[in-house]
Amino acid sequence: IKKTFAEVQTERLEQAERTILIKCPPKLNEKKLLQYLSSHGNIKSHFLFENRGIHALIEFSEKNSIASLQDAIGIPSAIEHHVVPFKSRLFTFMLKNPVSQAAEETPVHLSPQSHIPVKDLIQKLCHADSISSQMYILLNEYQLTEENIRLRFLACSLVRDFARAYFPDSVVRPFGSSVNTFGKLGCDVDMFLDFHDTQKRATKMKKGPFEMEYQMKRLPSERLANQKILSVIGDCLDNFGPGCVSIQKILNARCPLVKFSHQPTGFQCDLSVSNSIAIKSSELLYIYGCLDSRVRALVFSVRCWARVHGLTNSAPGNWITNFSLTVMVMFFLQKRSPPIIPTVDQLKVLADDKDMHVIGGYDCSFVSDLSKVKPTENTETLDVLLGEFFEYFGNFDFRKNSINLRKGKEVNKPESSPLYIWNPFEQDLNISKNVNQPQLEKFVAMARETAWILQKEDKTQRMINKEPWGLAALLIPFGKSNNSKMKNRVKGIGSETIRSLLDSLKLNSASSLQKAVEK
């Protein structure tokens, strides 16, 4: 039985509040550390990982064990640096007598927090027996681990400790790929400050002959309020947050945010203020990701393919985002016959009273109980789906049509952006407005080339020759593979290919000109 998104979130946030993070000495006796800590309470779970030194994440059974520990431990002496006396849940464990105690060191298991490099992945993929199993291997190597998810929620919980100094009811929740089942190891932590509890209370107070409300500072816009809150929390993290570095306040963005790097957990974090629609988008993707095992496998392969070929980039720009790509995969899966996942409208029909949400005038209602969604009858293999995905978008009429998850069919573009993908909830917004014509053309050219390779490839021959085949062949930049001859045979040669041909012509003529001059 799959839990609802809200249940998972609540459980993980509560778990994170009972969790601490300890920096350990390089030579560590794990058992002794646990023994030492358990004098403060029962340890429910723990794991060790490497992040500029060994760290231990410890989950106590009871929250008050942390208070007990905090009472017992020391404050760093102010010899070199003066410390800011903010007491967080980040600690350093030291050996009093390193030489003799180090002798007791025992081998420790470190759980990995990053994925293997693409070249190692390609090696692994070559040993698989089908493209489907290659896609599941990629998924297993790249997806977030249980430990990594805990660490992400801990990062949010640590930021919450700062927010609480001002807003005791506030919660810091992760959203985006940390929680939507499509996160890969190493992706950023998107988090937002949620004051929702205070809003709920306001609606509760309506009964009886009297009414009472808080006096609160009033500002001309929500945006301005968010900017002020983020500015202060950003300063707090900057000035007092252990291991919070490279704080950047980006308050003038469409959605104001504070970026920072959280060294103890090793995450790049984006903090914004309560963005209920974004959390609904995360929940929608979570539902799609849970409905059928093929969904996540296909998304991970497509994202990895896009990254390798420079279609996506971690820096902001005119490229397609992972979020847009994921929505494109969902749309493709809705278009299969029979469909593999339902449309947003169909999910809305299944919604019950508690699933009804209207946020800022937009209807964000859809079913939260996964067991109410009938499993698909589609039995296509991932081998087929991968090829068909590239075929479908290689031939999609982007000039005329837009991608709409709510309807699950192509809709005329409402305006002339090169790529138009409807925001599933704010129906007048295009989530891929940033994508320009050259980037779209590059995507289409790559999709065609990829579809062509998958169709023409002789798997057995490639396996005999010990060449990367199937998904592995798609994860090598096309220019670099031995088969660059293939390029010229592709139906629609991409503008990129033409450009590089032109560039090489220019170079050739320039160098022959140079030679002619020298003579």
Residue 352 tokens read as: 């019950």
Total of chain residues touching ligand GTP, rule CB under 6 A:
17
Residues between 264 and 323 that touch ligand GTP (CB under 6 A): 278, 281-282, 321-323
Query: Which one of ligand GTP, Mg ion, none interacts with residue 440, CB within 5 to 8 A by kind?
Result: none
Cα separation, 506 vs 519, in Å, equals 20
Sign of CA dihedral 474, 475, 478, 482: negative
Residue 475 tokens read as: 């994860």
CB of 187 to ligand GTP, least distance (A): 4
Please check whether residue 165 is in contact with residue 229, taking contact to mean a CB–CB distance below 8 angstroms: no
CB of 176 to ligand GTP, least distance (A): 3
Residue with tokens 């952006």: 417
Nearer to ligand GTP, 359 or 370 (CB): 359
- Report the residue from 21, 159, 187, 193 that binds ligand GTP according to the rule CB under 6 A: 187
Nearer to ligand GTP, 33 or 302 (CB): 302
Q: Is 391 in the site for Mg ion (CB under 5 A)?
A: no
Residue 158 tokens read as: 């640590």
| Terminal Cα distance for the chain, rounded | 79
Interaction pattern, residues 313-332, with ligand GTP; x per rule: CB under 6 A: --------xxx---------
Q: Is 176 in the site for ligand GTP (CB under 6 A)?
A: yes
Cα separation, 217 vs 104, in Å, equals 58
CB of 277 to Mg ion, least distance (A): 15
DSSP 84-106: P----SEEE---SSHHHHHTT--
CB of 176 to Mg ion, least distance (A): 4
List beta partners, residue 270. Answer: 190, 259
Coil, helix or strand for 168?
Answer: coil
Cα separation, 234 vs 162, in Å, equals 10
Nearer to ligand GTP, 65 or 326 (CB): 326
Nearer to Mg ion, 182 or 452 (CB): 182
Cα separation, 308 vs 99, in Å, equals 47
CB of 190 to Mg ion, least distance (A): 4
Residues between 168 and 197 that touch Mg ion (CB under 5 A): 176-177, 188, 190
Quick one: which segment of 36-44, 108-116, 180-188, 455-463 binds ligand GTP (CB under 6 A)? Answer: 180-188
Query: Which one of Mg ion, ligand GTP, none interacts with residue 497, CB within 5 to 8 A by kind?
Result: none
CA-based nearest residue to 311, from 154, 478, 440: 440
- Measured from each CB, the residue nearest to Mg ion is 176
Q: Is 417 in the site for ligand GTP (CB under 6 A)?
A: no
Cα separation, 237 vs 208, in Å, equals 42
CB of 154 to ligand GTP, least distance (A): 18
How many residues make up the chain in this entry?
A: 519
Query: Which one of Mg ion, ligand GTP, none interacts with residue 417, CB within 5 to 8 A by kind?
Result: none
Interaction pattern, residues 429-468, with ligand GTP; x per rule: CB under 6 A: x-x-------------------------------------
CA-based nearest residue to 298, from 265, 240, 241, 341: 341
* Cβ-Cβ contacts under 8 Å for 198 (sequence gap 6 or more): 169
- Report the residue from 30, 105, 161, 188 that binds ligand GTP according to the rule CB under 6 A: 188
Quick one: which segment of 143-151, 177-185, 333-341, 357-365 binds ligand GTP (CB under 6 A)? Answer: 177-185
CB of 431 to ligand GTP, least distance (A): 4
Residue with tokens 């946020």: 359
Query: Which one of ligand GTP, Mg ion, none interacts with residue 226, CB within 5 to 8 A by kind?
Result: none
CB of 112 to Mg ion, least distance (A): 20
Backbone angles phi, psi at 211, to 5 degrees: -140, 145
Helix axes 276-291, 293-308, angle to 10 degrees: 110
Residues between 359 and 388 that touch ligand GTP (CB under 6 A): none
CB of 16 to Mg ion, least distance (A): 18
CA-based nearest residue to 237, from 92, 91, 84: 84
Backbone angles phi, psi at 489, to 5 degrees: -90, -5
CB of 95 to Mg ion, least distance (A): 38
Quick one: which segment of 38-46, 156-164, 179-187, 445-453 binds ligand GTP (CB under 6 A)? Answer: 179-187
Cα separation, 394 vs 450, in Å, equals 9
Q: CA triplet 289, 18, 12: central angle to 5 degrees?
A: 10
Nearer to ligand GTP, 124 or 433 (CB): 433
CB of 271 to Mg ion, least distance (A): 12
CB of 82 to ligand GTP, least distance (A): 36
The pairing of beta strand 90-92 with beta strand 19-23: parallel
* Cβ-Cβ contacts under 8 Å for 208 (sequence gap 6 or more): none
Helix axes 322-335, 276-291, angle to 10 degrees: 50
Query: Which one of Mg ion, ligand GTP, none interacts with residue 141, CB within 5 to 8 A by kind?
Result: none
- Report the residue from 177, 226, 346, 365 that binds ligand GTP according to the rule CB under 6 A: 177
What is the contact surface with ligand GTP in residues (CB under 6 A)?
175-177, 180, 183, 187-188, 190, 278, 281-282, 321-323, 423, 429, 431
What is the contact surface with Mg ion in residues (CB under 5 A)?
176-177, 188, 190
